[in-house]
Structure 1
Amino acid sequence: MKTRRRLLDPRRSARAIVARRRSAGNDLILATILAAIAGAANAGGFFALGQYTSHMTGYLAALADNVAIANLGIVAISTLAVAAFIAGAGFSAILIDAAQGPASSRRQYAWPLVFQGVFLACFSMGGLLTGEIGRIFSLACLCFIMGMQNATITRISGARIRTTHATGIVTDIGIELGRAVHARLRPGLGMSADRGKLRMLVQLVVAFVLGGIFGAIGYGLAGFLFSIPLAAVLLALGLPGVIGARRR
């Protein structure tokens, strides 16, 4: 009975998901949740800014194109987006590395989720700011969050999983499908696809797409305030790990 209660305790579940000692199952659960939130937040970026904030390739391409034609306004916006994404990734690395000591290691992966939740809650206030200031604030805030999230899951999974980098995920799906086809055509070579990895990649893509659909509907109905439930999910994942570790 006690074991069953522990399994049903959401605080224990949250702490297990962000625990320092990792398992493939915990990595996949966390990555799926974060991929769905990334898809929803990406939809929020399109709602607020008319562009997707997880797409650094697009911003770098826009930067290069507009440097060539001397469109300094777009150059500045693209530079800000890339810089905010890098800053978010760097901040996540600082939080994780700072918690590697024995006194704080239990909070190593919880703190980045807590801060992502806080910044996502800050993004919900973007609607209070009007004009170009509000647009710049929203862009920087979301790109920072995307950078934090991608760096967090990259560190947690040992660079096996990324949640905002859909191009990489889809590329890996193509690689595994190609290996599967090749194995069918030439079975004597002993080549085969990693079906477990393929299932994981498909699950992340589906989570990202469903999150995007959910986010598009939510932001369309509630505007910036739809960021609050997304922030609540991240805080619900991170806070039990922070609070539980302090009590110990």
Structure 2
Amino acid sequence: MRRIPRTIQLIVARYLRGLLRNRLDGQQLQAAVESALATLPIQEKLLVREGALRSETLNRQLAWAMAFVAGAVNAGGFLAVSHYTSHMTGVVSSMADELAAGDLTTALAALAMMLSFLGGAFVCTTLISFGQRHRMRSRYALTLALEAVLMLIFGFMGNRLQQEIQFTLPMTVMLLCFIMGLHNAVTSIISGAAVRTTHLTGTVTDIGIELSRLSYVNLHNRHGRERIVANRQKLTLLLLILASFLGGGVVGALGFRHIGFKVTVPLAGFLCFLAARPLLLELRLLLHRLKRQWAPSE
């Protein structure tokens, strides 16, 4: 392949420099980004702060939003594909039962579901690790954007994918398992495992623990004995997850009965809404770097 002549390279570079100077020095595009950010009722750090750096408020906002989506996908998905696609405990138990009964075909189907869920978590973590290495503020938002794209594929192509059978399973089942694996992983990583939204066994267990501590009567406090005290903030978070998952499940089930596979389309839009602020912030930083790179030398 012939190299581009130096003269043409200079002309193109000069054109791009002038274009960026005219567009970006006036900060028109950045002003548009700032305006869009100002209209979003989402905290800037919702998908940026990690683990111990997150406040209880951020975790609560993340919990209700992600639990609502998980509940809607899980309940609506069950009506769509006749499988709960986030319950890996049940999937693995089913695989064990089928292996014991000698039904290798059904056991293979359960294995495919588990591997799809695992694949979603694997891809999610890989994307986040890549973003972390490259110091991308939008690394969690990009993962949600990918989840939104997969939900759109399910919504618009669900009927067709339902006819594609792999390992005795429709492709829709494996796609939803992949989505749920991705969904649970991004929530778990960003919250430092404080929030898990695709299954409720641990959540309900922890609610029982905290309710027991809350109702325990400390009649005497002799000899400096430690008082039994409930973690009220944790209990509030757990109850919020449970209520949001339940509410999302009702919405997902009703939505599927009325609009079918396309019930995931508004859910995808909601995820894009959550991801919008970090993505716009990343765009603003990119524009700033481009301005510095193409700014005319003094």
TM-score with structure 1 setting the length: 0.90
* 1:109 partner amino acid: Y
2:39 to 2, 9, 12: 9
Aligned pair in 2 of structure 1 residues 107, 6: CA closer, same or farther (>3 Å)? Answer: closer
Q: Distance in 2 between matches of 1:33 and 1:100?
A: 23
Q: Distance in 1 between matches of 2:263 and 2:159?
A: 11
2:48 match = 19
Does the aligned pair in 1 maintain the 2:116–2:174 contact within 8 Å? yes
Q: Distance in 1 between matches of 2:211 and 2:244?
A: 19
Cα drift, residue 73 of structure 1: 2.5
Q: Distance in 2 between matches of 1:199 and 1:13?
A: 20
Cα drift, residue 207 of structure 1: 0.2
Gaps of 5+ in 1: none
1:225 match = 262
Aligned pair in 2 of structure 1 residues 247, 215: CA closer, same or farther (>3 Å)? Answer: same
Tell whether 2:132 aligns with 1:100: yes
1:150 match = 184
Q: Deviations over 1:27-78 (max 9, x none)?
A: 2102211100000000122112212111111100100000011112221211
Count of aligned pairs: 241
Does the aligned pair in 2 maintain the 1:14–1:236 contact within 8 Å? no
TM-score with structure 2 setting the length: 0.75
Q: Distance in 1 between matches of 2:119 and 2:142?
A: 16
Cα drift, residue 177 of structure 1: 1.3
Tell whether 2:251 aligns with 1:214: yes
Moved over 3 A (4+): 5-8, 129-132
Does the aligned pair in 1 maintain the 2:56–2:233 contact within 8 Å? no
1:137 to 167, 171, 187: 171
Does the aligned pair in 1 maintain the 2:218–2:227 contact within 8 Å? no
2:10 match = none
Aligned pair in 2 of structure 1 residues 228, 192: CA closer, same or farther (>3 Å)? Answer: same
1:49 match = 81
Structure (1 or 2) with the greater helix fraction = 1
Q: Deviations over 1:113-146 (max 9, x none)?
A: 1111111111112122343539521111111111
Q: Aligned Cα RMSD in Å? A: 2.1
Does the aligned pair in 1 maintain the 2:42–2:277 contact within 8 Å? no
2:113 match = 81
1:71 match = 103
Tell whether 2:148 aligns with 1:117: yes
Q: Distance in 1 between matches of 2:172 and 2:220?
A: 52
Does the aligned pair in 2 maintain the 1:45–1:53 contact within 8 Å? yes
Does the aligned pair in 2 maintain the 1:44–1:219 contact within 8 Å? yes
1:59 to 91, 112, 136: 91
Cα drift, residue 244 of structure 1: 2.4
Does the aligned pair in 2 maintain the 1:47–1:216 contact within 8 Å? yes
Moved more, 185-194 or 43-52: 185-194
Tell whether 2:196 aligns with 1:162: yes
Gaps of 5+ in 2: 1-34, 286-298
Does the aligned pair in 2 maintain the 1:31–1:204 contact within 8 Å? yes
* 1:20 partner amino acid: R
Does the aligned pair in 2 maintain the 1:120–1:227 contact within 8 Å? yes
Does the aligned pair in 1 maintain the 2:162–2:171 contact within 8 Å? no
* 2:189 partner amino acid: R
Greater radius of gyration (CA):
2
Q: Distance in 1 between matches of 2:220 and 2:60?
A: 30
* 1:56 partner amino acid: M
Cα drift, residue 6 of structure 1: 9.2
2:272 match = 235
Cα drift, residue 240 of structure 1: 3.4
1:31 match = 63
Moved more, 28-37 or 44-53: 44-53
